[in-house]
Structures are given as structure tokens and as C-alpha cells.
């Protein structure tokens, strides 16, 4: 399906449900493609970065002009990037959305380079993408530090990638939904309504996106601002990778590694919750927050709070607690579930089939597999790897699955499922993954 979903310059997640280029999908696709065609993997990232805005943001969708407008909503005529985004430097020659997705791109670029350094150097791949990736990180670290504590915030649930996680329910409850008659959901043409976000949630998504667009994509004024652990963990991992890229190009990497370590400390200080044994989201707009002007932690356990296991620089007690939480009754990793669920098995909002409210996803499973291996839990990592590979094949590379039964949900022939299965087939299983991924090792006490 990576061949079927290839457009000639990039890979769509799914021909039916997602017919354009998505930002973090392309990063994951590149990570897998590097084993088959390093050139295509490089092209995947280059195509995405060609749509970067002048302020540094990498949009979450790059639209294919040959796809009919009614094939996907919100479509280019909703986002109006070339007009509403003009002040933020939106490109004029391609239509994009105005929001972002998790910054996996520097990590992907480093892994793609390592797959064929000779080709990469001959094409000047890293030299071309490095300034764009650096601008992307500057945007997140400066424009999106809405809480003032060093972490990047998301201003729409779609930016975090786990679109309708129950972690967003409380922050979204303060958003007045757009009228149902004001938009038409194209996703229901291709997916079962019981597996997709509700109309109420979708109305709130549309309201937030509309107000962000009408504010010319300026950051900081919206009703929704959340510091998310997975988003920031991926930013930290990519900071380390960007340092490796800089070193490969002959520049100093010390300052960027140090920045990643400061961000790790901020992640622990702002989002770690010892009582939950995991990282939680911080709702910066919560008026009754525990920190004046900085909101409060959202008391919901999502898989996002386990993703920081990817980072080798976490304090040891945090790593120990995360591993216990992952294997415990809330996520059942290695015990009751076949793949880690996207949301707390014991949570009131848990639904094993509804989009990001309980089903297991292959990209988060891949991240946790890498995290287990990073911290030397090779037996658990091997077991998760085998589960991912077995379910990917058995479900025809489904978009996501029931965490208990492994039943396929959403689209099949899903690109990042195929790509990440491919990476696990070819990837490191020895525990030396830290260096391969561009991360700087060493746990803090």
C-alpha cells in the first residue's frame, strides 16, 4: 500500500479517507520508506517542507489540487491559507491548512540520512532540510510557548494528532460548537459514525479552526491552549536529532542538546503527575487552575502521557513509574491488551472502537516500542514488536485496532501502519536505539 498511496512526490495516509499529504504521517512514512527507498523517503520530507510557512510552521495538511474539494473537510477553501495566512507567510503556490502536527520531522530526517549517508550527502539532503527544520523548531519554541514555561502548546486538538482523545473533553467544553448546518463532514462517507468523533466534538473543532483562521493564524488568543506530553516529547527527540544533523554538517551541537535537556526538565516540572504515574496534559485556559495564569493538569490518562518513554534523559524514578503504569490496569501493556490503548482502559470515556478514545494505534505502539528499548526493556519491546507486526499483517494494515481483540477499525491499507511495520522488521532490536535515533543517552537521578 505504500506504493498504492504514493502520489509521485508524497504518500497519502489513505486514498479514500485522507487523500492529501499529512504532516506527521509523512514523517512516519519516511521512517519506514528509508528501508526500501532512501530517495523516496527524502522526497517525502522535502515535499512537506516545501509547503512550510514563512513564520516556520509546518502545516498539518498539504492539499493536492487534483482532489475535489468535497472529498475532504475542512478543505482548502475553508482554511484559505494563501489569504488568511498571508501575514504568517503562507506559501502562495500551494494550499495548506493553518494548524500544525507533532514535530517528528527532524527525527525522521536523521533516520533517513542514516539509511544511506552516501546518497544523502550527494544530494545535499541534510543541508537543504536543516534550516527549515531549525525554523520549524524556532516557531514552536517561541510562538507556541503560551504558558511561559518553555513547552510548546497546541491550539487545536487536531494539532496533537490524537484528535478526539478524552484528554480534550474538559478544554473543549468551554468552546461553543459551530452550527451543524455550517459544515458537512466528509469523513462519514468513508468511516462508520460510531468509530468517528461525534457531531458535537466536530462542531467544536470547526469553531476553533474558524476563529484561528479569522484571526489570521496568530497564536495565543484562542480558547484552546494545551501543553501535551507527546507533542513535547517528540519536539525534544527532534531537538536531539537536529543536533546530530548540525554536527553532520560541521556545526556545533552542544547548544541544541542542552536545549533538549532543558525542555526535558520543563516537561517533568510542568506535566509529570506522580499520583497518576504518568505525564498529563496542562490546560492553560482552565480558570480554576492550580497555577495562576498557567491552568491545571487534565485528570485523564491518555497514551500521550506514556510517549515520553522515548526520551533517555528522564529521571529514573519517572521511567520506573511510567513502565509500571504502562503495564498496569490502565493500559495493560503486555498483559490484558494486544497493543497499548489510546486512552485509559478504566476511564469513563473509554471506547475500544471510537477514534482515539480507546483504540490502539500503530504509531503510538511504535513510539512505545522504541521507548522500551531505549530503557533496556528488551523483552517487553520484543513482545510489543511482535504484536505490532502480527496485527499489522492480520488487519491489512488497519488505521487502528480494538486494543483487546485486535479487530481492525477505520481505514485499511493505512500508510503509517505499513511504514512502521516495515521499520520494525528492519530496525534495531539490540537496545542501541538511542544513538540511532539521534537521542542523547543517560538517565538523570
Catalytic site positions: 163, 399
CA-closest candidate to residue 28, choices 422, 429, 436:
422
User: What's the rounded Cα separation, in Å, for the pair 172 and 201?
Assistant: 8
3-state secondary structure of 154: strand
CA-closest candidate to residue 227, choices 159, 278, 174, 290:
159
User: What's the rounded Cα separation, in Å, for the pair 310 and 5?
Assistant: 28
Q: For the chain, give me the number of helices (H) and strands (E)?
A: 17, 11
In this structure, what C-alpha cell is assigned to residue 191? 468511516
Looking from the CA of 80 toward its CB, the CA atoms found within 13 Å total 13
**2 within 8 A of 33, measured Cβ to Cβ:** yes
Residues 6+ apart with CB under 8 A from 251: none
Quickly tell me which residue has 541534510 as its cell. Answer: 126
**410 within 8 A of 397, measured Cβ to Cβ:** no
CA-closest candidate to residue 443, choices 319, 349, 345:
319
Strand partners, 18: 14
Amino acid at each position: 500500500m505504500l506504493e498504492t498511496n504514493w502520489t509521485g512526490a508524497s504518500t497519502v495516509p489513505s486514498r479514500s479517507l485522507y487523500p492529501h499529504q499529512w504532516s506527521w504521517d509523512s514523517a512516519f512514512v519516511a521512517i519506514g520508506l528509508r528501508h526500501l527507498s532512501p530517495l523516496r523517503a527524502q522526497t517525502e520530507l522535502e515535499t512537506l517542507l516545501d509547503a512550510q510557512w514563512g513564520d516556520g510552521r509546518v502545516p498539518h495538511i498539504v492539499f493536492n489540487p487534483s482532489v475535489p474539494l468535497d472529498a475532504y473537510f475542512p478543505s482548502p477553501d475553508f482554511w484559505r491559507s494563501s489569504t488568511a495566512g498571508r501575514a504568517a507567510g503562507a506559501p502562495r503556490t500551494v494550499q495548506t491548512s493553518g494548524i500544525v502536527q507533532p514535530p517528528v520531522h527532524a527525527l525522521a530526517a536523521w533516520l533517513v540520512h542514516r539509511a544511506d549517508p552516501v546518497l544523502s550527502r550527494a544530494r545535499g539532503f541534510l543541508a537543504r532540510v536543516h534550516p527549515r527544520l531549525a525554523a520549524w523548531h524556532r516557531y514552536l519554541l517561541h510562538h507556541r510557548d503560551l504558558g511561559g514555561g518553555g513547552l510548546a502548546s497546541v491550539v487545536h486538538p487536531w494539532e496533537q494528532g490524537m484528535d478526539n482523545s478524552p484528554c480534550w473533553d474538559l478544554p473543549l467544553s468551554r468552546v461553543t460548537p459551530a452550527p451543524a448546518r455550517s459544515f458537512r463532514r466528509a469523513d462519514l462517507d468513508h468511516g462508520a459514525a460510531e468509530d468517528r468523533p461525534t457531531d458535537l466534538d466536530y462542531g467544536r473543532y470547526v469553531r476553533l479552526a474558524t476563529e484561528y483562521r479569522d484571526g489570521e493564524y496568530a497564536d495565543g488568543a484562542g480558547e484552546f491552549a494545551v501543553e501535551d506530553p507527546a507533542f513535547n516529547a517528540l519536539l525534544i527527540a527532534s531537538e536531539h536529532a537536529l543536533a546530530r544533523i548540525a554536527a553532520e554538517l560541521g556545526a556545533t551541537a552542544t547548544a541544541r542538546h542542552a536545549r533538549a535537556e532543558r525542555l526535558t526538565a520543563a516537561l517533568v516540572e510542568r506535566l509529570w503527575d506522580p499520583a497518576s504515574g504518568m505525564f498529563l496534559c496542562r490546560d492553560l485556559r482552565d480558570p480554576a487552575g492550580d497555577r495562576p495564569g498557567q491552568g491545571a493538569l487534565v485528570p485523564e490518562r491518555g497514551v500521550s502521557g506514556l510517549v515520553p518513554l522515548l526520551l533517555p534523559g528522564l529521571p529514573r524514578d519517572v521511567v520506573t513509574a511510567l513502565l509500571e503504569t504502562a503495564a498496569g490496569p490502565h493500559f495493560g501493556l503486555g498483559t490484558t491488551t494486544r497493543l497499548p490503548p489510546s486512552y485509559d482502559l478504566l476511564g469513563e470515556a473509554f471506547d475500544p472502537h471510537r477514534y482515539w478514545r480507546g483504540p490502539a494505534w500503530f504509531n503510538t505502539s511504535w513510539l512505545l516500542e522504541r521507548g522500551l528499548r531505549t530503557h533496556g526493556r528488551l523483552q517487553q519491546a520484543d513482545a510489543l514488536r511482535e504484536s505490532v507486526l502480527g496485527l499489522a499483517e492480520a488487519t491489512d494494515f488497519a488505521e487502528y485496532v480494538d486494543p483487546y481483540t485486535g479487530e481492525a477499525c477505520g481505514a485499511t491499507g493505512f500508510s503509517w501502519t505499513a511504514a512502521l511495520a516495515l521499520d520494525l522488521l528492519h530496525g534495531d532490536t539490540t537496545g542501541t536505539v538511542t544513538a540511532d535515533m539521534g537521542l542523547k543517552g543517560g538517565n538523570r537521578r
